[in-house]
Structure 1
């Protein structure tokens, strides 16, 4: 009888453990059910699918649910690169520079002496020889000083590099002069304008460069005196290069 009693007691203990396992399974299933309901109502379709897959994997004992599911690639909006912002801001400043220069030229009736162009390389101001220099000379004329001061003041609104370009016609220098060639004359004119922008207008010298084209980059053929006069000029080009930050 004692042996039979012990066997019954053992069987009762086994039934109790099975009931606990069934209860825990039920609770787990209810938890999964509510998680799935929450997923269907709150999460995107892609996240729900990923969650279901994660749960399936979890029940197989290989992983747990990952709550940090990344959104699909098509929903990702890349942040704008700071350099791109700088480029856009600088382009806006160059547009405003062009407007200010155009307004100054029109208000002072300088259309026959100054020309303004918005080119791929930058904003170009063309100053004709008649406003800047005497024929064959490189000294800036007194009447050009107020114009250069005003132009230089407007150029202070941006920090872009500035290229000063000297140009002449194709007439050879035959008379006694300090210049040996049209290259030499154009270089002296470009240098004097560049130094004026630095010394009189306070533009940082690291922004300035000057170059001479001599007679070899004419706007029009040198076939008439009027055309030759058009080719004698100095260009001030505010370049679209990286602004000087120094």
Structure 2
């Protein structure tokens, strides 16, 4: 074997070693990043669990009878599903619902996942995650739902989509006013009659389908570079 051939073979071996090292390095980066994401997810779930227990106990203690609190995979669901919540074909909350929404708004002001940036220990976790490219996002998503009874065509409400959106808007306004949360933490959706929980086959079932759902969620997402 000539000296030139030996040199070429040596270069190929060195290049192969470098590629192997690069692949190993990137695998380690992926493993470390995945482990960090898993830790952040577990931390987020603990915060949601803590917030759920806080809301559930306070809704019960204050006898907020028009609201039901449930832990769901997406976060915490507060459901208003009671004929005493709104007048028929109206988006204005009854006095009873208005009073209870005011209390819920005040509860949201102390809900851990919605105030994590303001509290000492959670804020440290959020700041550390931000250094590694992850942003903490907390939000309150309010969905309005109706039954399939048609809206009077002469009514300014026009249709069930509009009615459900206006009910969600009324609930959001009460929560925003009393919680002190940032406006960008809120969003609303009007779902109309198209996501029933049961078939609209009886008055009782229609009562169940007329509802407003408040989903409180939070978690980390990759920061967007603008």
- TM-score, structure 2 length as denominator? 0.65
Question: Which consecutive residues of structure 1, in runs of 5 or more, have no partner in the other structure?
Answer: 1-77
The counterpart of 2:72, out of the listed 107, 119, 140, is: 119
User: Equivalent residue for 2:45?
Assistant: 91
Structure 2 CA distance for partners of 1:195 and 1:110, relative to 1, 3 Å: closer
Contact 2:143–2:190 under 8 Å retained in 1 = yes
User: Equivalent residue for 1:170?
Assistant: 148
Deviations 1:58-85 (A, max 9, x none): xxxxxxxxxxxxxxxxxxxx69955544
Cα RMSD, aligned residues only: 2.6
Quote the offset at 1:105 in angstroms. 3.2
The counterpart of 1:149, out of the listed 75, 90, 102, is: 102
User: Equivalent residue for 1:43?
Assistant: none
**2-structure distance, mates of 1:107, 1:233:** 23
**Residues paired across the two proteins, number:** 167
Contact 1:166–1:213 under 8 Å retained in 2 = yes
Quote the offset at 1:98 in angstroms. 1.2
Q: How does 1:1-246 map to 2 (within 5 A)?
A: 83-110=37-64, 113-156=66-109, 157=111, 158-159=113-114, 160-174=138-152, 176-242=154-220
Q: Secondary structure of 2:174's match?
A: helix
Structure 2 CA distance for partners of 1:200 and 1:153, relative to 1, 3 Å: closer
Q: Secondary structure of 2:220's match?
A: coil
**2-structure distance, mates of 1:219, 1:235:** 12
Q: Secondary structure of 1:197's match?
A: helix
Quote the offset at 1:179 in angstroms. 0.5
Structure 2 CA distance for partners of 1:89 and 1:234, relative to 1, 3 Å: same
User: Equivalent residue for 2:134?
Assistant: none
Contact 1:179–1:185 under 8 Å retained in 2 = yes
User: Equivalent residue for 2:13?
Assistant: none
Q: Which has the higher contact order (CA 8 A, sep 6+)?
A: 2
**2-structure distance, mates of 1:242, 1:79:** 13
Structure 2 CA distance for partners of 1:212 and 1:242, relative to 1, 3 Å: farther
Structure 2 CA distance for partners of 1:89 and 1:149, relative to 1, 3 Å: farther
Question: Quick check: which one's strand share is greater?
Answer: 2
Q: Highest Rg: 1 or 2?
A: 1
